[in-house]
Amino acid sequence: MIHPTAVIHSAARIGAECEIGPYCVLGPHVELGRGCKLHSHVVLDGHIRLGRNNEIFPFASLGLRSQDLKWKGGVTRVEIGDHNTIREGVTVHSATDEGVATRIGSYNNLLAYTHIAHDCQLGDHIIMSNFAGLAGHVVVEDHAVLGGYVAVHQFCRVGKLAMIGGCSKIRQDMPPFMLGDGSPAQIRTINKIGLERHGVSEATQKALRQACKILFREGLTTANALEKVRAEVPAAPEVQHLLEFVATSGRGITH
């Protein structure tokens, strides 16, 4: 299952039932889980560990050194979960500081030429469309969708089940369950289609819509808006997650 033109360091650890195609290059600190498939010309280098059943398409480059000019050497890592699809030309870079990892969860779909910079932390079931890019230290929660050419500023967060339209610029945190679009991005409404697809009830959607109006349309301070939502909006786990996300924002919230 390993093409004779692949270059694999003798210290690399390759799981059972892996397929490694022509001209792939694997460095000495690569750990590849069971059932992974690498198409041609894939480069895995640096300290990188992948779980099971990941499929990686040509010219992807994963695990190489951070592009951050603050990098001072040492062991930094990339950790990738299971069942991810990583398409052509995707780049994922290692963390910057000693002992830290860039992490990607499981069941994600990273389309062609997407970029995951140093120290990013991605959850599960995320879709990043072609040419979308994350700067350093970005956090993306589960089931988020980023359209093509979306650019996310360093240290921003993208919340659970958020959807961001193509060519948007994200310079502050994008709240969960919301639909954002524009350059810079603005919140348009709740992500109704995404919520429906994930079985969120109409009552909870109504509560999220009410919370959205209070938080992002009424011009209140963050503290006053949070207090008003807690007092007036029916409690639901999704509403509580939204409130916690807004309350803990470091860069401020997209409106």
Instruction: Provide the token pair at 87.
Output: 């398409």
Q: How far apart are the first and last CA of the chain?
A: 51
For the beta carbon of residue 92, count every other beta carbon within 10 angstroms: 27
Element (H, E) at 103: strand 101-104
Angle, helix 222-232 to helix 202-217, in steps of 10 degrees: 150
Amino acid identity, position 66: S
| Rounded-to-integer distance, Cα 100 and Cα 150, Å | 26
Q: At which residue do the structure tokens 């000693």 appear? A: 98
Residues with a catalytic annotation lie at 118-119, 136
User: Tokens for 129?
Assistant: 């469309």
* Rounded Cα–Cα distance for residues 201 and 220 (Å): 28
CB 195 within 8 A of CB 208: yes
- The answer to whether 108 and 129 are in contact (CB under 8 A) is no
- How many residues does the structure list for the chain? 255
Q: What amino acid occupies position 191? A: N
